[in-house]
């Protein structure tokens, strides 16, 4: 559906006096359009398909072509009868269903150029041909047995299925991805045998938990193989909530060559990663380009370029369209370490990558929702049990109808001579039918069938066959009644069929699940004391030693000293920006010497995000983060660490507020403290002071906005904040042009103690208080 139609559906511009829509086709199209907007690009739990995919499969099945047929015909069928959208998007969906590197179990078998894993486009639909693949039988085999409902198409001229009667949960088997309006979904593919066993377990034990499911279905199984290195608890969290991520890694081997040479051969890649992509990433590392707005590449890019050139001599893709993947990496020297070479490539390319998981579906209630694996399997098994019940009811009706006809023929066979005389004596078929019903008590249906019989069906052999058929039909009728009369028998039938499908269609797992640490590169750095210096305009550098005389440090014209911290070359520095993002820098990567440093945004992708604070301490060190709007929270330094060069969204900053420097709760070398004996002192810009227990401030490991520390009216800001571990507080300000300080304690301090988020009281001194300092 195009965007104009979407707007028209939800914007009421109609005239209340306008004539009502009377056209059946118009009403059908409106109903079709609303349902399509609601379900756009989201798969159904029942059959795992999006609307366009379902219509493609149904159109191919209804065409009944049998062999390969031009894709152009099927695209036209879909557009003309069921899916009035663009032909390009419809053909793209059809190609996706046929790509073995995209679908774990392809539902369409293509003939011709259907694209490649490197991103090559498929040939035009006038050149390619397609037919249903063997796995499509699991989708369509029971379609004509009353298993699902049908609805009118967009113009009311044709019928199309609302869902397909999937015998297996194809939403889990092939996965899905898409970004509809207001939603996104990214469901990984899984192994058929494992999913079938998990579905059986859910039917047998409706109270089954996620751990029992994961014992049978330990994780995704992608078409291209690869290796999942995530920890079991990470996989469990993603499957329990329906949201998370897993880390994947390529699989490779080392081939030994003549004269001690060797090469790395990559045979499997992470899902969505292609050999061409890896080659382009390595090319970008050895031929870096300046960032937007920069004239030259950054020092980090130069170091990475030389690092890769020292390790890699050449990269070749020796795979072709039909053979398995073979990406060859030649080392610069046979004497270098294989582990160092592959680790460098894992860190700097997509050979190791994160795969997001977001299992958002259209449920059986018709509403989109994010579901965990247990809920998904429960819903699908409910759907499957319902379709098997409807199929059994349909087959029972057909069986009873046929048995009724057969019993009529057997009775007719016993009186065949008299029946022939009655029919010959009748004026027409209607009178013959009435005569048969009157004399032998045939029903109208039986009488009509007898009148339609061919003479060749009146042989003795045919009579024997009728008795055999009656016995078989009676057995089938009793079996269907048994199944429909017992929920236990119905569930047992579903379990039996799942087992049969598992044995017939199942295959071995392709993706290995072997937990491992993410690849890292360790550089040997001599541990030395340094001082990190940041200027007001964002130039950063490191100087050797601690206790530097800052008056002797020069800055660029118009720039000045902003902040400095003392640390070691082996440390990681955490930077906090005005936007609330945090960044991480290796201190050893900072320029040293007598220069004026480099802009900090050439080392991290902070762009124009002004750095407000730099921290360097053990990761367990606690800090109090706050803004000038008066809100704050506690976190560990390790919570702010990130591997992402563009930083991590950590702190929510209200509009118009400033980020304040993080406050270390107590020095790392001090005696262990607890929040129970500490007070937070908050000073507002209008001179009001509030003290309250540190225990009232929450710890937020994931960051956020925090809580209100002090109530601030408009135009008033948080001026200063401190934490005191003694019943005393140092306040400071300026009187007659001179800086002054004094200590509040006992009664003078007690009058300012209150509850968090109160307004505080004015400090009773004869000067404007501008800062507070705690006493450890």
Catalytic residues: 127
The dihedral sign for the CA sequence 453, 456, 458, 460: negative
Beta bridge partners of 354: 247
* Backbone φ and ψ of 356, nearest 5°: -70, 150
User: Is 600:611 a contact under the CB 8 Å cutoff?
Assistant: yes
How many helices (H) and strands (E) in the chain?
21, 36
Angle 77-82-87 from CA coordinates, rounded to 5° = 60
CA distance 162 to 730: 73
Look up residue 278 and give its two tokens.
């890896």
User: Is 234:279 a contact under the CB 8 Å cutoff?
Assistant: no
Secondary structure (DSSP) of 310-354: TTEEEEEE---SSSPP-EEEEES-TTS-HHHHHHHHHHHSTTEEE
Beta bridge partners of 692: 680
Q: Give 203: exposed, middle or buried? Use CB within 10 Å, 0-12, 13-18, 19+.
A: buried
For 235-264, b where at least 16 C-beta lie within 10 A, e where not — what string?
bbbbbbebbbbbbbbbbbeeeeeeeeeebb
C-alpha pair distances (Å), 736 with each of 684, 720, 730, 739? 21, 21, 19, 8
The dihedral sign for the CA sequence 386, 388, 390, 392: negative
CA distance 345 to 364: 45
Look up residue 674 and give its two tokens.
């607890």
């Amino acid at each position: 559906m195009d965007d104009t139609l979407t707007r028209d559906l939800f914007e009421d511009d109609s005239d209340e006096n306008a004539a009502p829509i009377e056209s059946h086709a118009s009403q059908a199209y409106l109903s079709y359009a609303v349902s399509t907007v609601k379900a756009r690009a989201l798969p159904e739990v029942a059959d795992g398909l999006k609307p366009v995919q379902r219509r493609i499969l149904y159109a191919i099945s209804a065409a009944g072509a049998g062999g390969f047929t031009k894709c152009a015909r099927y695209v036209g069928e879909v557009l003309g009868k069921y899916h009035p959208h663009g032909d390009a998007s419809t053909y793209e969906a059809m190609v996706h269903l046929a790509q073995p590197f995209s679908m774990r179990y392809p539902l369409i078998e293509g003939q011709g150029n259907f694209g490649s894993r490197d991103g090559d486009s498929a040939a035009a639909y006038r050149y390619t041909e397609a037919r249903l693949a063997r796995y499509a039988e699991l989708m369509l085999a029971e379609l004509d047995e009353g298993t699902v409902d049908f609805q009118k198409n967009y113009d009311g001229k044709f019928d199309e299925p609302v869902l397909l009667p999937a015998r297996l949960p194809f939403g889990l088997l092939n996965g899905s991805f898409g970004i509809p309006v207001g939603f996104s979904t990214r469901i990984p593919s899984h192994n058929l045998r494992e999913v079938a066993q998990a579905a059986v377990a859910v039917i047998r034990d409706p109270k089954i938990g996620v751990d029992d499911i994961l014992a049978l279905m330990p994780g995704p199984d992608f078409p291209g193989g690869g290796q999942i290195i995530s920890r079991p608890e990470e996989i469990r969290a993603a499957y329990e909530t329906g949201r998370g991520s897993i880390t994947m890694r390529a699989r490779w081997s080392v081939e030994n060559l003549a004269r001690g040479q060797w090469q790395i051969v990559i045979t499997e890649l992470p899902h969505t990663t292609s050999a061409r992509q890896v080659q382009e990433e390595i090319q970008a590392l050895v031929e870096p380009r300046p960032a937007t707005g920069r004239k030259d590449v950054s020092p980090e890019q130069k170091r990475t370029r030389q690092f890769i050139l020292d390790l890699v001599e050449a990269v070749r893709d020796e795979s072709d369209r039909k053979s398995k993947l073979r990406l060859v990496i030649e080392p610069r020297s046979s004497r270098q370490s294989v582990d160092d070479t592959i680790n460098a490539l894992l860190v700097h390319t997509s050979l190791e990558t994160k795969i997001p998981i977001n299992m958002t579906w259209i449920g059986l209630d018709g509403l989109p929702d994010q579901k965990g694996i247990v809920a998904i399997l429960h819903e699908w098994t409910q759907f499957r049990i319902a379709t098997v019940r409807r199929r059994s009811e349909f087959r029972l009706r057909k069986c009873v109808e046929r048995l009724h006809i057969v019993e009529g023929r057997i009775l007719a066979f016993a009186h065949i001579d008299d029946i022939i005389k009655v029919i010959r004596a009748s004026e027409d078929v209607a009178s013959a039918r009435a005569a048969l019903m009157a004399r032998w008590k045939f029903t109208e249906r039986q009488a009509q069938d007898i009148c339609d019989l061919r003479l060749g069906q009146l042989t003795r052999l045919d009579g024997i066959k009728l008795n055999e058929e009656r016995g078989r039909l009676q057995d089938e009728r009793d079996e269907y009644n048994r199944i429909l009369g017992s929920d236990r028998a119905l569930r047992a039938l579903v379990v039996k069929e799942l087992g049969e499908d598992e044995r017939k269609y199942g295959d071995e797992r392709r993706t290995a699940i072997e937990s491992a640490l993410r690849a890292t590169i360790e550089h040997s750095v001599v541990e030395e004391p340094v001082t990190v210096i940041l200027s007001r305009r964002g130039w950063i550098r490191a100087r050797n030693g601690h206790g530097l005389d800052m008056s002797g440090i020069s800055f660029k014209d118009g720039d000045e000293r902003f902040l400095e911290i003392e640390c070691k070359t082996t440390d990681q520095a955490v930077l906090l920006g005005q936007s609330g993002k945090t960044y991480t820098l290796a201190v050893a990567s900072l320029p040293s010497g007598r220069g004026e440093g480099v802009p900090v945004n050439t080392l991290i992708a902070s762009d124009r995000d002004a750095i407000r604070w730099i921290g360097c301490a053990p990761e367990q060190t606690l800090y109090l983060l706050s803004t000038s709007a008066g809100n704050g929270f506690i976190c560990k330094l390790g919570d702010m660490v990130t591997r992402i060069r563009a930083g991590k969204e950590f702190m929510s900053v209200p509009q118009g507020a400033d980020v304040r420097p993080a406050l270390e709760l107590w020095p790392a070398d001090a005696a262990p403290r607890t929040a129970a004996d500490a007070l937070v002192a908050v000073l507002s810009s209008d001179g009001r002071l509030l003290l309250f227990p540190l225990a009232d401030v929450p710890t937020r490991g994931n960051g956020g906005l925090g809580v209100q520390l002090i109530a601030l009216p408009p135009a008033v800001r948080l001026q200063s904040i401190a934490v005191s571990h003694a019943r005393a507080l140092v306040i400071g300000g300026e009187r007659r042009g001179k800086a002054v300080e004094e200590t509040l304690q006992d009664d003078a301090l007690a009058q300012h103690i209150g509850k968090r988020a109160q307004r505080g009281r004015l400090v009773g001194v004869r000067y404007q208080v501008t800062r507070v300092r705690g006493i450890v």
